[in-house]
Amino acid sequence: MAKTDSVRRGGYSCGLEAAVDVVGGKWKPMILWALHTRTHRFGELRRHVNGISEKVLIQQLRELEADGIVHREVYREVPPRVEYSLTELGQALNTALLPLGEWGDTHMERVVARKAAATPAA
């Protein structure tokens, strides 16, 4: 049954499942990617993440903060300045995403051609 092991590990059957639970979905890898060079303010981040809405970005950042991936720093200025950065855990996660980005760079034309072939012309 291996139930004990599964419970001990929080219900994850492998490391990839845990990683996907933290960074899965359409937007989170993009947010990490944007943050890997330097801290960003909210508006900067929104411009860097192609097509994300304000509402969704707020939600994604809250989840990443709760998971210990993103750090939110509020500077008590007038008006208040809020900056987002990667934690140490987030930096390691971003490094783990690099090969995936390289795969995409290498095979982008093939992916695009496949997607185009699967979608009937308008």
Task: Enumerate binding residues for a second copy (CB under 8 A).
Answer: 9-10, 12-26, 29-30, 33, 50, 66-68, 89, 92-93, 95-112, 114-116, 118
Nearer CB in complex with a second copy: 15/81:
15
In the block, which residue shows the tokens 């499942």?
A: 17
Nearer CB in complex with a second copy: 4/50:
50
Q: In angstroms, what is the minimal distance from the CB of 11 to a second copy?
A: 8
> Comparing C-alpha atoms, which of 67, 54, 64 is closest to residue 33?
64
Nearer CB in complex with a second copy: 26/41:
26
The secondary structure of 62-105 as a DSSP string is: HHHHHTTSEEEEEE--SS-EEEEEE-HHHHHHHHHHHHHHHHHH
Helix/strand/coil (H, E, C) string of 44-71? Answer: HHHHHCCCCCHHHHHHHHHHHHHCCCEE
Q: In angstroms, what is the minimal distance from the CB of 94 to a second copy?
A: 9
Q: In angstroms, what is the minimal distance from the CB of 31 to a second copy?
A: 11
Nearer CB in complex with a second copy: 12/42:
12
